[in-house]
Amino acid sequence: MEKITLNGYIIVPDSQLEVVEPALDVHIKLTRAESGCIVFEVLQDSIDKNKFNVYEEFVDSVSFLAHQARVASSQWGEVSKDLVREYEVTGLDEK
């Protein structure tokens, strides 16, 4: 059983910041409360206000995939579905 990490960023256009930021606050709280979540950080970039740096760690692929499933049907999933994302996931089995 290997830890899963996700590292990258999302880009939020100016026109969506007002909607995305409050939804992100809720998303962070819900994710940190999930079973198997070790670390979950989403921080607005200090140089580019439209870039949010993301770092996640989950104890295993089961926890990570459960998180992904929850997000897909959440308010955050709806609000953020069209945002540009650039992520690298490590530790996930490629079966």
Domain boundaries, the chain: 4-90
List, for residues 24-48, the tens digit of each pLDDT value.
Answer: 999 999 999 999 999 999 999 999 9
Question: How much is the pLDDT for 1?
Answer: 58
* Tokens found for residue 76: 């955050």
Please tell me the predicted confidence (pLDDT) of residue 2: 85
60-88 pLDDT, tens digit each? 999 999 999 999 999 999 999 999 999 99
d(CA 25, CA 61): 24
- Indicate whether 95 pLDDT > 50: no
Which helix (DSSP H) or strand (DSSP E) does residue 86 occupy? strand 84-90
Please, what CATH class does the domain formed by 4-90 belong to? alpha beta
